[in-house]
Amino acid sequence: MEIFYANQISGNEVFLDTEESSHCVRVLRHRTGDEITVVDGQGTMMRCVLTDDSPKGAAAQILERFPDWGGHPYSLTMAVCPTKNNDRFEWFVEKATEVGVDRIVPVIGERSERRVFKPERSRKIALSAMKQSLKAALPLIDEPCPVKDFILASGDDVPLPLPAASQPYPGKWSRAGAVITGAENKTDRGIKIICYCFEGETERRSIEDVLREVPEGADITIMIGPEGDFSPEEARLAVENGFIPVHLGPSRLRTETAAVTAATAVYLHFIK
């Protein structure tokens, strides 16, 4: 099953960008009249018929809409420190997208060795992983922001940095995770978790133990530190702002493995 992505939709018409058009018309040789499957990156899959097979800008007519297609019953924001080796972070982006994630925030910690991160490549990877895993919602990938800014933004009413313009408007799940406010955190739908390795002042529970209390539809935010872990100050600030300190069990996991393990724990928690 081949899926195309269109972020430009007006009424019942969808427009594919150059890359998608070329793939649809040049590579897969679709012609006007062919039925194709298009997703809007916001959670809706659309059965369409191709009305313009131009390889630079194809267009299609929507026949049927399937909202929340390939979605999941929670909203997950993963705030993860980019790894020294970019491939490892991009691998996390691919795997988290396959399993189910709504928003990825590259956060820069005091001990991060990589302090610069360009989201473009990761966004491409998320897009192809979304299509490959038959999902209709494209995870948002933010511009990088400092760990402490992310913690503070998640703890009060200041919205997190807005997604870059190149991103489609956040869909149902993404929107749920996009702006975390103090108010939301006071409801039982929002839960914030920070994973770190050292024994801080606050005792850490296991992620399994914490997830047991998380209901369907919850907005879950999970922070994962850099190779050198969070600093004690970052951990303290997070706990002061309502993050629950957790561990991921006895194994010592790399940053990207910890991030995928945490996202997988959330995914598995909601499987009956």
Report the nearest approach of its own copies to the CB of residue 99 (Å). Answer: 6
Report the nearest approach of its own copies to the CB of residue 87 (Å). Answer: 10
- Judged by CB, which is closer to its own copies: 30, or 72? 72
Report the nearest approach of its own copies to the CB of residue 18 (Å). Answer: 27
User: Starting from the edge strand earliest in sequence, which strands make up the sheet with 13-15, in order?
Assistant: 3-5, 35-39, 45-52, 59-66, 13-15, 8-10
Report the nearest approach of its own copies to the CB of residue 47 (Å). Answer: 18
- Judged by CB, which is closer to its own copies: 199, or 209? 209
Report the nearest approach of its own copies to the CB of residue 91 (Å). Answer: 7
For 150-178, what is the HEC assignment? HHHHHHCCCCCCCCCCCCCCCCHHHHHHH
Taking alpha carbons only, the member of 92, 82, 16, 19 closest to residue 51 is 16
- Judged by CB, which is closer to its own copies: 30, or 95? 95
- Judged by CB, which is closer to its own copies: 120, or 209? 209
3-state secondary structure of 260: helix
- Partner residues linked to 173 by β-bridges: none
Supply the DSSP string of 111-165, one letter for each residue.
T-S------HHHHHHHHHHHHHTT-SBPPEEPPPEEHHHHHHHHHSSSPPPPPPT
- Contacting positions for its own copies (CB under 8 A): 70, 72, 91, 95, 98-100, 132-135, 206-209, 248-254, 257, 260-261, 264-265, 267-268, 270-272
- Judged by CB, which is closer to its own copies: 15, or 270? 270
